[in-house]
């Protein structure tokens, strides 16, 4: 018995220390988006099951990052790293603390004896762990068993250039499940995107439960066909869906755990057919409409002459602001024809009462009225650049989509701006000019290199540039019926736009491509579908 005891005991101890092979460190430090400074050296830190994560600052939000990192390692190491709060030994530990840095800034020091992470806030710490994620060897990314995971010796100091780095998903044209939306948020988080713009209403579908107005989801969330192409035969398959308020709260929490703010969009006064089909008294004519079954601009819009229209939209927004803690609430404002207003006695009377000379000014009146309502609830209005055409207050935020011209004009007059031009940020466009074999897309060609070439502050002086909050990728879904295709259109172009938003002054496309190729290994490990046109060796 004694002869057997020591070999068995030693074998047991060995199994505790190592449950797999040593996995060599990555050959080079390739991070997207590009950090401010990277100083790599020879050597490695050996991360094992006995390594601890020590949270040195008293902030429970740091646990989010520890849980995130453990989720990456546990499949390979077989168990989560122990997380401790308070002081711990310097060796064989990942020491995490908050320091005197900009809020989203971080510093990483990986040395043979241990790892030190300093963040300007819990968000900065989370970005540091996202960076370390990109330093994990490929076998670990794939969840292969490992006893020792080598991390390269490196010093990284980093922070984003723009405070607003967004990604928009249109769920109005095609509906995506809660799990799909969470996966979209995970993709944003991987790229250090911090705003999720959730486009919730459209002519083709109203997607958010409003308890005061139940017909919006009973009627407005469903249409008689799935395919929105007017040239396609009617498939006659009822299609739709919506998110309950509990599901919306769940998604807000999920995003917050990844330091992403959800910005809801409720379209007003255009793109309103789903709402009008639900409540005909919101339109200029009072007719009973059907939820629109094809794409394109529709002239059936909210009636600005009716006070009941404003009671309705304020009732909707009261529930929206209760669901979404975001400072910004998006009200759309794009592509709103004035034809119905010109013919509507109530709208003409509104013009006379308000001293308006052009029907387009009704949109300015309506936008200003909604902005006052949002302001009374401590929120700020953000809208597409058409809100400039009808007059808008200096406190409204302008999202420039019709090129950068609207953003430039807004910045010059003192409005804050998010740049999201079709020329560089519309990911529903084809990724290559050779469209044979490509999934059907909206049209136009937006290759990876052109996304990377966006210069958000071009045309502005140093004072006006301060008005540019950041950039946003937009994924409209007229031709995107499922999440696999959404991934394909999003990736890897999101990597290019992430670098535009994080480090616009340090861009070099030739240097970017090898780092992006490294990032696609993470796409592979996650099972993401992505385009490979620009990634061939």
Catalytic positions are 335
**φ, ψ of residue 106 in degrees (nearest 5):** -155, 160
Measured distance CA(433)–CA(303) in Å, rounded: 42
C-alpha–C-alpha distance, residues 193 and 255, integer Å? 11
Provide the Cα torsion 435, 436, 437, 442; round to 10°: 30
Query: Strand, coil or helix: what is 197?
Result: strand
Query: For 48-130, where are the E strands, in sequence order?
Result: 52-55, 82-85, 93-98, 106-111, 114-119
CA dist., res. 375 & res. 486, Å (int): 34
Dihedral sign computed on CA atoms, order 287, 291, 296, 302: positive
Cβ contacts of 196 within 8 Å, gap of 6 or more: 166, 167, 168, 169, 184, 185, 188, 255, 260, 261, 262, 263
Q: Where are the beta strands (DSSP E) in 4-104?
A: 22-23, 37-47, 52-55, 82-85, 93-98
Q: Is 414 helix (H, G, I), strand (E, B) or coil?
A: coil
How are beta strands 106-111 and 114-119 bridged, if at all? antiparallel
Residues with Cβ within 8 Å of 249's Cβ and at least 6 positions away in sequence, in order, are: 323
What is the spatial distance between Cα 236 and Cα 257, in angstroms, rounded to a whole number?
Answer: 40
Instruction: Supply the angle between the helices 361-376 and 345-354 in degrees, to the nearest 10.
Output: 70
Alpha carbon 386 to its chain's center: 22
């Amino acid at each position: 018995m004694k002869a057997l005891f020591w070999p068995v005991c030693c074998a047991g101890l060995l199994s505790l220390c190592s449950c797999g092979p040593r996995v060599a460190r990555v050959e080079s430090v390739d991070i997207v988006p590009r950090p401010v400074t990277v100083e790599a050296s020879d050597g490695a830190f050996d991360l094992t099951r006995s390594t601890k994560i020590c949270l040195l600052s008293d902030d429970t939000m740091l646990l989010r990052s520890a849980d995130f990192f453990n989720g990456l390692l546990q499949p390979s190491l077989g168990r989560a790293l122990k997380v401790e709060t308070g002081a711990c030994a310097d060796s064989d530990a990942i020491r995490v603390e908050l320091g005197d840095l900009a809020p989203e800034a971080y510093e990483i020091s990986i040395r043979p004896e241990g790892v030190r992470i300093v963040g300007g806030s819990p968000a900065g710490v989370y970005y540091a762990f996202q960076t370390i994620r990109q330093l994990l060897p490929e076998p670990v990314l794939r969840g292969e068993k490992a006893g020792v995971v080598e991390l390269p010796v490196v010093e990284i100091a980093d922070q984003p250039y723009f405070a607003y780095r967004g990604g928009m998903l249109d769920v109005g044209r095609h509906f995506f499940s809660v799990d799909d939306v969470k996966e979209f948020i995970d993709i944003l988080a991987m790229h250090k995107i911090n705003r999720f713009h959730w486009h919730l209403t459209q002519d083709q579908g109203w997607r958010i439960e409003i308890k005061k107005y139940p017909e919006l989801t009973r009627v407005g969330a469903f249409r008689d066909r799935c395919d929105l192409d007017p040239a396609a035969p009617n498939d006659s398959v009822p299609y739709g869906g919506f998110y309950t308020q509990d599901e919306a709260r769940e998604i807000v929490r999920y995003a917050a755990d990844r330091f992403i703010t959800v910005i809801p969009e409720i379209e007003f006064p255009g793109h309103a057919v789903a709402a009008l089909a639900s409540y005909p008294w919101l339109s200029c004519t009072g007719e009973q409409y059907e939820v629109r079954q094809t794409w394109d601009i529709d002239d059936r819009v909210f009636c600005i002459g009716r006070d009941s229209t404003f009671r309705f939209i304020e009732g909707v927004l009261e529930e929206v602001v209760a669901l979404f803690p975001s400072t910004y609430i998006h009200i759309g404002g794009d592509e709103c024809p004035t034809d119905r207003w010109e013919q509507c006695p109530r709208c003409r009377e509104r013009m006379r009462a308000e001293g308006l000379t052009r029907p387009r000014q009704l949109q300015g009146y309506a936008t200003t009225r909604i902005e006052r309502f949002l302001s009374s609830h401590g929120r700020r209005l953000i809208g597409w650049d058409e809100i400039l055409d009808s007059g808008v207050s200096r406190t409204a935020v302008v999202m420039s989509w019709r090129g950068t011209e609207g953003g430039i004009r807004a910045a010059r007059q003192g409005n804050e701006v998010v740049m999201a031009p079709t020329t560089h940020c519309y990911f529903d466009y084809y990724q290559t000019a050779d469209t044979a074999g490509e999934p059907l897309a909206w049209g136009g060609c937006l290759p990876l290199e052109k996304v990377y070439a966006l210069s958000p502050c071009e045309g502005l002086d140093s004072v006006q540039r301060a008005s540019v909050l950041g950039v946003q990728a937009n994924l409209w879904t007229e031709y995107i019926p499922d999440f696999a295709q959404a991934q394909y259109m999003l990736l890897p172009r999101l990597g290019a736009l992430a670098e535009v938003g994080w480090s616009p002054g340090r861009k070099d496309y030739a240097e970017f491509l090898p780092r992006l190729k490294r990032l696609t290994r993470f796409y592979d490990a996650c099972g993401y579908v992505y385009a490979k046109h620009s990634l061939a060796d």
